[in-house]
Structure 1
């Protein structure tokens, strides 16, 4: 993805690289992202019930990204597409796919990492 070979990956290079990767091997990329989702679920799901509640979501992103609780409250609501107060594995999978592949700026998956 490092198009200018400077040893760094800027935002434009990352976006371009992901678009090329998805265009060339969408299923392969989604399979690799699925591994990331599984790891994310294992880390976030501190009570082991197979679901991520808002507190678990906030703890993950406050500690790892330094995100604000207010932004994360909005993000969680956007990602909780069925409105049940939790994020299941399929909601996270769908959000991850949207985050990395969707051209729709209103896709819920755009909130995967909060308000970036």
Structure 2
């Protein structure tokens, strides 16, 4: 059975969140989850959209990547503002989780697309 890359991102995100929460303790559960879920979900959507576009018309991929990056930045900004409205939420675990997943998932997306674009060239 072939696992889609986007599903792998979700499984990786949940696994890392669970592992860190087990080590860091219950105070990390909610802020860690909230820091993980937005980058993972937006990463999954991005991978699916760009992969489908590449399979249909590779010439339009760059435009879609630029547009999706802009949309993600707006969504991330709104998401962070909303999360900080949650009463009693620990800011530092959220910030560390969000930043870590944001960086990790963008690196993984870049590696995935590089491999996909090279093998299909």
Same fold (TM over 0.5): no
Instruction: From the two aligned structures, give the one with the greater helix fraction.
Output: 2
Higher relative contact order (CA 8 A, sep 6+): 2
Tell me the TM-score normalised to structure 1 length. 0.33
Could you state the TM-score of these two structures normalised by the residue count of structure 2?
Answer: 0.32
